[in-house]
Structure 1
């Protein structure tokens, strides 16, 4: 078994920093409302791109607003009143996962097979959505959206399992739940 290397920063950690997820911001993002609103962001982006059919170039304003919202959304909500819920646990698991090079993960979570599989499904869904948006094929857009959202939910469910396992092993992680 190799020890985790705190010097090796994951691409997930870089992305989390890009979205401003440091320390307290993770707790704000763990607000279940934030998690569920996050599922609405992609449909908003899709609608803004699709709307070019009706409003032409003004759809770029809607797209820009959707993208800005994507960046600021994790910081909009206060820390949750309780973190004893699926959504908060998913965010805590994501936080652990982003630091996986600095954290000694249990054996069953060291493999990137499941996350990479969910990423592959998300990518396939994004490709279907892009094609659908390009040719105004609603079935491709909705099918791709369904694939992306289901794959994201699967990934988050794995993150809940990661958090629960880590919380059983380490009181520091257990203290995140209240």
Structure 2
């Protein structure tokens, strides 16, 4: 079993859950959770250990509730096609060219995450903002790439039928 499948199973990602996760509301509210998470961590300077309540709430939202709250959708929007493509990637159906680009985007996203971590640890704004911008841009690009993967898979499937 691949690491991707382990992650998907850890989040309880069934076919139905993937369809719910593809809902644009699910996608965009996950992006909206990034600054909320950052604010929750930053708030430790103001409210001390109570900041963990905010961090916990955001993590529950991101890791469990978000992918179950919204209704299932078909791949009719940019965000939905991206998530359907992500599912294909998790299933090992991504060609090598896609996997290479996706790995590069994940590495760049991890650089953004490292900057965010630095900014939140040191309570320093510039690495936090730069890291957030890098992370969000990489994630948007990944979703776009996943959408391209989905469309190519759909075209190949239709040609074989």
Once the two structures are TM-superposed, the CA of residue 10 in structure 1 deviates from its matched residue by 2.2
Q: Paired residue for 1:79?
A: 72
**Alpha-carbon spacing, 1:108–1:121, altered in 2? closer, same or farther (3 Å):** closer
> Hey, which bits of structure 1, 4+ residues long, moved more than 2 A?
105-109
Structure 2 spans left out of the alignment, 5+ residues: none
Does the residue aligned with 1:20 lie in a helix, a strand or coil?
coil
- Give unmatched runs, 5+ long, in structure 1: 1-8, 172-178
Q: Counterpart of 1:57?
A: 49
> Which residue does the alignment assign to 2:91?
99
Q: 1:159 aligns with which of 127, 146, 151?
A: 146
Greater helix percent: which structure?
A: 2
State TM-score, norm by structure 2. 0.91
**Aligned partner of 1:40 among 32, 36, 43:** 32
Task: Provide the alpha-carbon RMSD of the alignment.
Answer: 1.4
5 Å-filtered alignment, 1:114-133, equals: 114-133=101-120
C-alpha deviation, 1:131, in angstroms: 0.9
SS at match of 1:170: helix
Alignment length (residue pairs): 157
Query: Residue 169 of structure 1 is aligned with which of 143, 148, 156?
Result: 156
